Structure 1
Amino acid sequence: MFVSHIYMLAVIPRDLTEQNTSNISMSDNNIKRLSRLTAILTHLQTKRLITATELSDKFDISVRTIYRDIRALEEAGIPILTEEGKGYFLMDGYKIPPVMFTEREALSLITLEQIVLRMYDDSLKNEFSSAISKIKAVLKLYNKEKAEILSEKLFIGKNFENITKSSCLIDLQMALVNQQCVKIFYETLDGKESERIIEPFSFYHNPEDNWLLAAFCRLRNDFRVFRIDKITRLFLVNDKFEPHQITMKQFVEKYL
């Protein structure tokens, strides 16, 4: 289950709790619906907007059933709002209790942790380590023990050729999501330093363990790809940029 049992009971629709009151255990169908309701609530928490069609595709049920589920959550007091023609969203500031992870989910996170820790961007490792510590804090005791066992048994090989490090990946990601221009000082192929003002567009991690930044370069008036480990310094510029109209597919076909 995704949320605490106490909280799950709080969002059980009346039609699930009033039937078969003489029998403490709910039917399999009701348990499945309860699991789906909590999963829908989690999706609402993680996305700014989500449509009924997206939810019906996700759970392989009809849109009409999604409407009923949303109504059940609303009746349980969950502040779900609708943006006409766009989808559902949770009222700003509303939070659900901490998520609970299954054993398989916990092990997958531990594996991901080891992969991230082998990467060569210090900012990514530091932020992810902080996040994974918070996740580990909500694991059940038996999942914590198994996670520790797996952590000791994982070995992720490294590419020792041309190992380089960077420390600005998170800063660049923050600039991208906030549509903020960045001034970078970049080491060119001939060892010289080039100054650019860029508009971050996307990131790519190549097989050589290098993080690449695709960005619109105002100096060249076109998109360029930069190796992040070659960025020696960067500064956020007090200038916003408009979202780029080119799609990722179009960018890859043209520039990569």
Structure 2
Amino acid sequence: MNRVDRLLAMVLELQAHQRRRAADLAATFEISVRTVYRDILALCEAGVPIISVPGQGYSLVEGYFLPPLQLTPAEALLIVQGLRALGHLYDPTYATAARTAATKILTILPPPLRLHVTTMQQGMAIIAARDTAIQQGHLTVLREAIAAQRSLRISYHGRTTPFAAARCTTRVVDPYQLTCVRTVWYLHGFCHLRRALRNFRVERISDLTVLEQTFEPMGTPHVALDATQLDQPIRVQVLFAAQVAAWVQEELPFFVVSTTQQPDGLLAILHVRAVEDVVQWVLSWGRFARVLEPIALQVLLRDQGRALQRLYDGPETLLP
């Protein structure tokens, strides 16, 4: 980043935060504290009203803001397309806001840039990967409950597979955070039934009631979820044949936490809650996937293979 760009970025950084110390700015822009002092002096000489408070840092005079930024064609396209793509994931209120914001940005763009963005949009499409209507129906209520720090009573359906019976429980949850992972929304909060932090897949919530009782968030600020945080303690290793390695990596399911190229194929590490959760995915790769661990999953796959053989060797009826 050249100095001119850094000076502009530094003003934006001060504009986005109430106060920033020299050490904070140095870490953000990967420069020395002495360089920060020189940059602040240059901004002051250019007329930017910066207040310096010893021991507390720098801030902009209240009311000061930069004029609208000039967007590049790529920046304008990404903003407009990004807003429209995100609109698919949110409830109707935010989806409408995303559409109107995109329209407003297009409106204020200079005519040549507006024409470029519109033309590029016609040659690009972003389609929602899944039907999010169920989870969208709850997002407004969940978002408002998080903001008001109000507890919830939910009916939650555990994962249903051909290998595990469905289960539904009623729980009281203190909602802390909504996280979207690959178009799927999760609610992170304190479950009073389990007396511990839990993550709930929003589309598996059937009944949702906001309670009068309030709560205080526990612990440190919450972070984005990964596969190891979603109650998935079982480690699975699957070795895929080299001829399908590229196809496996094209669309990895959420429970795959890492892949490594091996001399004899692609080794995938998975974290799952129960071995039954991954059976259908492994079976979809047929003889090109071999489970290395755990043994329980190997046994279950072997049983499924025998059941398939009986299905095709016997009468044309589905096995129970």
Instruction: Please indicate, yes or no, whether the TM-score normalized by the shorter chain is above 0.5.
Output: yes
Contact 1:114–1:154 (CA under 8 A) maintained in structure 2: no
Q: Is 1:98 paired with 2:72? A: no
Q: Is 1:131 paired with 2:108? A: no
Contact 2:176–2:189 (CA under 8 A) maintained in structure 1: yes
2:109 is paired with a residue whose SS is coil
Structure 1, unmatched stretches of 5+, are 1-31
Q: Is 1:221 paired with 2:191? A: no
> 1:211 Cα shift?
0.9
Distance in 1 (CA, whole Å) between partners of 2:220 and 2:77 is 38
1:245 is paired with a residue whose SS is coil
Residue of structure 2 in register with 1:78 after alignment: 49
Residue of structure 1 in register with 2:278 after alignment: none
> 1:71 Cα shift?
3.1
Which residue type is aligned with residue 244 of structure 1?
G
Contact 2:80–2:105 (CA under 8 A) maintained in structure 1: no
Structure 2, unmatched stretches of 5+, are 159-165, 232-320
> 1:171 Cα shift?
5.5
Q: Is 1:210 paired with 2:184? A: yes
Residue of structure 2 in register with 1:37 after alignment: 7
Contact 2:191–2:198 (CA under 8 A) maintained in structure 1: yes
Aligned residues: 221
* Higher mean displacement: 220-229 or 69-78: 69-78
TM-aligned CA distance change 1:125 to 1:103, over 3 Å: same
> 1:97 Cα shift?
2.8
Residue of structure 2 in register with 1:10 after alignment: none
In the alignment, which of 234, 238, 241 is matched to residue 216 of structure 2?
Answer: 241
> 1:89 Cα shift?
3.6
Distance in 1 (CA, whole Å) between partners of 2:62 and 2:141 is 26
Q: Could you give the per-residue CA deviations for residues 71-122 of structure 1, whole angstroms, max 9, x where no partner exists? A: 333452524454835x434455543333332222112113313422333633
TM-aligned CA distance change 1:246 to 1:95, over 3 Å: closer
Q: Could you give the per-residue CA deviations for residues 194-247 of structure 1, whole angstroms, max 9, x where no partner exists? A: 3524131351323xx321111122343211112223364453757351452376
TM-aligned CA distance change 1:88 to 1:255, over 3 Å: farther
Which residue type is aligned with residue 220 of structure 1?
R
Which residue type is aligned with residue 222 of structure 1?
A
In the alignment, which of 64, 82, 87 is matched to residue 117 of structure 1?
Answer: 87
1:95 is paired with a residue whose SS is coil
Distance in 2 (CA, whole Å) between partners of 1:255 and 1:83 is 45
> 1:145 Cα shift?
1.4
Residue of structure 1 in register with 2:307 after alignment: none
Residue of structure 1 in register with 2:257 after alignment: none
> 1:170 Cα shift?
5.5
Residue of structure 2 in register with 1:153 after alignment: 123
For the pair shown, which has the larger CA radius of gyration, 1 or 2?
2
TM-aligned CA distance change 1:184 to 1:244, over 3 Å: same
2:170 is paired with a residue whose SS is strand
Which residue type is aligned with residue 181 of structure 2?
H
Distance in 2 (CA, whole Å) between partners of 1:214 and 1:107 is 33
In the alignment, which of 26, 39, 62 is matched to residue 69 of structure 1?
Answer: 39
Distance in 1 (CA, whole Å) between partners of 2:54 and 2:212 is 33
Distance in 2 (CA, whole Å) between partners of 1:243 and 1:83 is 33
Residue of structure 1 in register with 2:150 after alignment: 181
Task: Give the percent of matched residue pairs that are identical in Structure 1 and Structure 2.
Answer: 24
> 1:173 Cα shift?
4.5
- Please, what TM-score do these two structures have when normalized by structure 1? 0.66
TM-aligned CA distance change 1:161 to 1:73, over 3 Å: closer
Distance in 2 (CA, whole Å) between partners of 1:131 and 1:82 is 37
Residue of structure 2 in register with 1:194 after alignment: 170
Which structure has more RCO (C-alpha within 8 Å, separation ≥ 6)?
1
> 1:253 Cα shift?
4.0
What is the root-mean-square deviation of aligned Cα atoms in Å?
Answer: 3.7
Contact 1:37–1:69 (CA under 8 A) maintained in structure 2: yes
Q: Could you give the per-residue CA deviations for residues 155-212 of structure 1, whole angstroms, max 9, x where no partner exists? A: 2244357874414436645655x57234253443468683524131351323xx3211
Distance in 1 (CA, whole Å) between partners of 2:105 and 2:200 is 33
